[in-house]
Amino acid sequence: MKQIVVISGKGGTGKSVLTASFATLAKNKVMVDCDVDAADLHLLLHPVIKERHQFRSGKKAVIDRKLCTGCGSCIAVCRFDAVSGGFAIDPISCEGCVLCSHICPTGAITMEENLAGEYFVSNTKYGPFVHAKLGIAEDNSGKLVAKIRQVAKEIAERDKLDYVIIDGPPGIGCPVIASLSGVDCAVVVTEPTLSGLHDAKRVIEVAGHFKVPVKLVVNKYDLNEEMTGAIENFCGDNGVTVIGKIGFDKAVVESMVAGKTIVEYCDGGIKEEIVNIWGKVAV
């Protein structure tokens, strides 16, 4: 079983469009959407939810007003500015460190378990799909990513599937690292812009840091072929294989509006290119 993650550094370069195409092309796989705070893959895969689970993670402090004497010890020790002058906890700022509950001399602060989101195991016409919804303004996205990856891996092992295909989040921080750790291959999707190159460099460095092999795809490569050349040069100098270049095509947005994956929506150049790319990812 191989785990493959699609990441980009920069947002909006086409991760979910490419991942959804892999869903139609790969056989025997489970799909995972690890962009848990702005998940989009479900808009193309149309899951029917089979299992729904609460994701509890971390704790939040709560002050019992009857016991609170207003001494201010909690305000003095809290490093997250989560206690207001009126001795109420701001649950969005509270990082659940528990320090205030230990410090409070009257025992007025207790910690309550935090519902950080939900995750789902679904059926799609492409096979099983594990996805999640982080609660509004919640933290713990990295832990939710780790959870749904574990669920997907268990499905893959149980059903003897060949691939776990992961749609990753943008950036290089906590949820990206959680999406990336321990995978067999990272497909970096970028675009031929200075920002795209800058961000791809950083995310390739992160993959290198975690010893994950990288393959790169340039999306909308013909919007600036000179920049595409610069990206290819960078990859050549750094031992990263460029496995495909996808041309700009209005059909991509049309397919999204139609709620279909691009390889199902259209024939021709762009479809062939993505089929080729999957062939190079799957080896």
Partner 1 sequence: MIISVASGKGGTGKTTIAVNLALSLRNVQLLDCDVEEPNAHIFLKPEIKETFSAFIPIPEVDSEKCNTCGKCREVCAYHAIAVIPSNGETKGSVLVFPHLCHGCGACSLLCPQKAIKEVHKEIGIVEIGTAKGIQFVHGKLNVGEVMSPPLIRQVEDRIDPTKTVIIDAPPGTSCPVIAAVKKSDYCILVTEPTPFGLNDLVLAVEVLRKIRIPFGVVINRSDIGDDKVDKYCQGNKIPILLRIPFDKGIALLYSRGIPLVQEKVEYKDKFRKLFDCINKLSVLKAK
For partner 1, the binding residues (CB under 8 A) are: 8-13, 16, 35-40, 43, 58-59, 77, 79-80, 92, 95-99, 102-103, 134, 136-139, 141-142, 169-177, 191-196, 198-199, 202-203, 205-206, 209-210, 223-224, 227, 250, 253, 256-257, 259
Closest separation in Å from C-beta 158 to partner 1: 28
Give me the least distance between CB of 49 and partner 1, in Å please. Answer: 16
Q: Which is nearer to partner 1, 257 or 283 (CB)?
A: 257
CB of 197: closest distance to partner 1 in angstroms? Answer: 9
Q: How far is the CB of 265 from partner 1 (least distance, A)?
A: 13
DSSP state of 83: B
Task: In angstroms, give the least distance from the CB of 38 to partner 1.
Answer: 4
Sheet containing strand 29-33, edge to edge, reads 48-63, 109-124, 127-134, 29-33, 163-167, 2-7, 185-190, 214-219, 241-246
Closer of 160 and 250 to partner 1 (Cβ): 250
Bridge partners for 218 per DSSP: 190, 245
Residues whose CB falls within 8 Å of the CB of residue 205, separated by 6 or more in sequence, listed in order: none
In order, the DSSP letters of 137-155 are T---HHHHHHHHHHHHHHH
Q: What is the rounded CA–CA span in Å between residue 216 and residue 218?
A: 7
Q: Which is nearer to partner 1, 88 or 92 (CB)?
A: 92
CB nearer to partner 1: give 72 or 279: 72
Cβ-based nearer residue to partner 1, 48 or 272 = 48
DSSP 8-state code for residue 208: H
Question: Minimum Å distance from CB 165 to partner 1?
Answer: 18
Question: Which of 16/24 has CB closer to partner 1?
Answer: 16
**Rounded Cα–Cα distance for residues 79 and 81 (Å):** 6
Q: How far is Cα of residue 69 from the mean position of the Cα atoms in its chain?
A: 44
